[in-house]
Amino acid sequence: MGPSSKRLAGILFIVLPTVAFGGVSLLTMIVGQEPGYLDNPVRQDLWRAGHAQAGVLLILSLVILRYVDEAKLSGFWKGVARNGVPLCAILIPFAFFFSVLSPAAKEPNSLTYLAYAGFEILALTLIVLGIGLLRKL
């Protein structure tokens, strides 16, 4: 694993506990019967989805780093492959959390479009890495 990948892996390992903190925060809202969360099904669903996406995407980011330096890609495309999924791990949960930030929100706001952008970046990243690995054969 190259230095850029190791640096990003170190950062991701430091950031990963924030997902656990998010889970504890959700649990606290449920146990504490916090108004604005339990009485708002849209907010519950989107916050759970955002939390799950964050955890899965951070783990996927770490897995991808094991392969980026082995792929036959230019420096630019290696950067795309290396940084795409961590960017998605920010954009997609951000869209879920902040689209219903207000406890009174009954429907998500336009920030949900960030999730679509994140999913497009995710698809591009995975395709680029897949092509790079196949070119290496």
d(CA 78, CA 68): 6
Task: pLDDT tens for the chain, 137 residues: list them.
Answer: 899 999 999 999 999 998 888 778 878 878 888 777 778 888 888 888 888 899 999 999 999 999 999 999 999 999 999 999 999 999 999 999 889 888 888 889 999 999 999 999 999 999 999 999 999 88
Structural tokens at position 114 = 């960030």
- Report the pLDDT value the prediction gives residue 26, as an integer from 0 to 100: 77
Q: Which of 86, 117, 88, 67 is nearest to 16 (CA)?
A: 86
- Report the pLDDT value the prediction gives residue 91, as an integer from 0 to 100: 94
- Report the pLDDT value the prediction gives residue 23, as an integer from 0 to 100: 78
Confidence (pTM):
0.85
The DSSP letter of residue 73 is -
- Report the pLDDT value the prediction gives residue 137, as an integer from 0 to 100: 86
Q: Are 85 and 47 in contact (CB under 8 A)?
A: no
Q: Which of 60, 57, 66 is nearest to 22 (CA)?
A: 57
46 contacts: CB under 8 Å, gap ≥ 6: 96, 97, 99, 100, 108
